[in-house]
Amino acid sequence: MPILLGRATKLSRLVTRAGKEYVGVLYLHGDVSDQELEEVISQFRGPIYQRPPVKAAVARELRVRRVCEFEILEREDRFVLVRTVVEAGTYIRRLFYDVGEVLGVGASMRELRRIRSGPLHERDSVTMQDIEKAVASWAEGDEGPLRRVVTPVEEVLSHVPRIVVKDSAVSAIAHGDAVKAPGVVAVSEGLRKNREALAVTLKGEVIAVVRPTMDAKEVLDADRGIVAEPERVVMERDLYPPMWKKGKSL
Amino acid sequence: MICPPGEPGPGELLIKEEAEPGPYGYAPRERPIDIYLQYGAINLDKPSGPTSHEVTKWVRSLLGFPGRVGHCGTLGAWGPGISQGYWCLAHPARESNEAQ
């Protein structure tokens, strides 16, 4: 479970948007052959329709979610251990239920464990005891363990496209300004119009969440004007000097 | 297939113009510890039992953290065996703000 601290909490929506990987137990309510099960599961790879359950945090509208990977790891009669990688917002309980419907015998979810959320893998996770020990070391003057327990939020957002800007453009963006073409040093190939991206410094620090007004290729060709509108400032305002005030450039 | 699907993924960085970083700011891993924490994320192996909310509050008090602490991933109202947060419902910890 990702926990965000301080300014990083402003990025929770982007962290949430990452794909998820689960291992779960699908329980079949009737007898199904291996071949039949495999066939139906393969039908659920790719885009699927889902309506959020009655008790859900979002509007109950039919929506498309993509299932990238869905495979059987083990099977013991009616208990099927499966692994799946899905788009954020895919209901696994629903997915299993729907597999049962297509099979005609019905199915339900018996157990579920999320093993990856975006780049955060379960095998790299820390326990509350780890945090406790790290804080104790910190109190004794060794901040090393705390730095291992806490990850820079930028590393958790490796799935989000970026716009790298010059040092001279940082302060303006940290004050809520748009990202303008002359300040851009580089862009992620996957940057797309209207799909949230991160404005970052040359050192890789997150400045703000921005909404690009054009695709990556167009940003490269632009020599003036706005390339991304501000959505949410993350960086403190005074970390970089406000060079825009005097019209100086680096 | 790239995940999250439906998203192009960041891909390679395409250089528009060469530039060198100046003497401002810090590379994420080189931030002084207090700033490092402000931009920090914890990949927590949530124990079963307490709710995500309780765990988050506990982390906050443990760190003696002055700012916000929020979790991305809410424990469903399920049986005790299913402890790992599964449906990511993120919001900054408003309660902790009110407490300040």
Of B11, B26, B45, the CB nearest to A188: B11
Encode pLDDT of A197-250 as tens digits: 999 999 999 999 999 999 999 999 999 999 999 999 999 999 999 875 555 555
pLDDT at B73: 56
How far does B79 lie from chain A, in Å, by closest CA? 9
Of B3, B21, B39, the CB nearest to A203: B21
- Overall average pLDDT of the A180-186 stretch: 96
Q: A79 pairs with which residues across the strands?
A: A27, A76
Distance in angstroms (rounded) separating the CA atoms of residues B66 and B96: 10
Do residue A17 and residue B72 have CB atoms under 8 angstroms apart?
A: no
Do residue B5 and residue A4 have CB atoms under 8 angstroms apart?
A: no
- Overall average pLDDT of the A107-127 stretch: 88
- Overall average pLDDT of the A102-113 stretch: 94
Residue B97: is its pLDDT beyond 50?
no
pLDDT at A60: 80
Q: Please state whether the peptide bond connecting residue B4 to the residue before it is cis, i.e. omega within 30 degrees of 0.
A: yes
Residue B90: is its pLDDT beyond 90?
no
pLDDT at B77: 36
Closest residue, chain A, to B88 (C-alpha): A16
Structure confidence at residue B87 as a pLDDT band (50, 70, 90): very low
Do residue B33 and residue A239 have CB atoms under 8 angstroms apart?
A: no
- Overall average pLDDT of the A132-153 stretch: 94
- Any B CB within 8 A of A243 CB: no
- Any B CB within 8 A of A23 CB: no
Higher pLDDT, A80 or B91: A80
- Any B CB within 8 A of A111 CB: yes
Closest to A50 measured CA to CA, from A77, A14, A17, A87: A87
Min mean pLDDT across A23-27, A113-117, B82-86 is at: B82-86
Of A8, A68, A192, the CB nearest to B1: A68
Name the strand (E) or helix (H) holding B99: helix B94-99
Name the strand (E) or helix (H) holding B40: strand B40-43
The helix/strand/coil state of B57 is helix
A155-244 CATH = 2.30.130.10
- Overall average pLDDT of the B5-32 stretch: 84
The mean pLDDT of chain A is 91
pLDDT at B85: 35
| Chain B 20-79, residues with CB within 8 Å of chain A CB atoms | 20-22, 24-29, 31, 33, 36-47, 52, 55-56, 58-59, 62-74, 77
Pairing between strand A197-200 and A162-165?
parallel
pLDDT at A118: 82
DSSP-assigned letters across all residues of chain A = -EEEEGGGGGGHHHHHTS-EEEEEEEEESS---HHHHHHHHHHTSEEEEE---SS-SS----EEEEEEEEEEEEEETTEEEEEEEE-TT--HHHHHHHHHHHHTS-EEEEEEEEEEETTEEGGG-B-HHHHHHHHHHHHTT--HHHHHHSEEHHHHTTTS-EEEE-HHHHHHHHTTPPEEGGGEEEEETT--TTS-EEEE-TT--EEEEEEESS-HHHHHH--SSEEEEEEEE-S-TTSS--GGGTT---
Name the strand (E) or helix (H) holding B55: helix B52-63
Closest to A102 measured CA to CA, from A91, A111, A112, A94: A94
pLDDT at B9: 64
- Any B CB within 8 A of A237 CB: no
Which architecture, in CATH terms, is A18-121? 2-Layer Sandwich (3.30)
- Any B CB within 8 A of A131 CB: yes
Q: What percentage of chain B exceeds 90 in pLDDT? A: 24
Count of CB atoms within 10 A of residue A92's CB? 20
- Any B CB within 8 A of A202 CB: yes
Residue B1: is its pLDDT beyond 70?
no
Residues 6+ apart with CB under 8 A from A170: A201, A207, A235, A239, A240, B24, B25
Structure confidence at residue B84 as a pLDDT band (50, 70, 90): very low
Residue A3: is its pLDDT beyond 70?
yes
Residue B88: is its pLDDT beyond 90?
no
Structure confidence at residue B53 as a pLDDT band (50, 70, 90): confident
Encode pLDDT of A61-71 as tens digits: 888 998 989 99
Residue B95: is its pLDDT beyond 80?
no
- Any A CB within 8 A of B89 CB: yes
pLDDT at B65: 66
Where do the domains of chain A lie?
18-121, 155-244
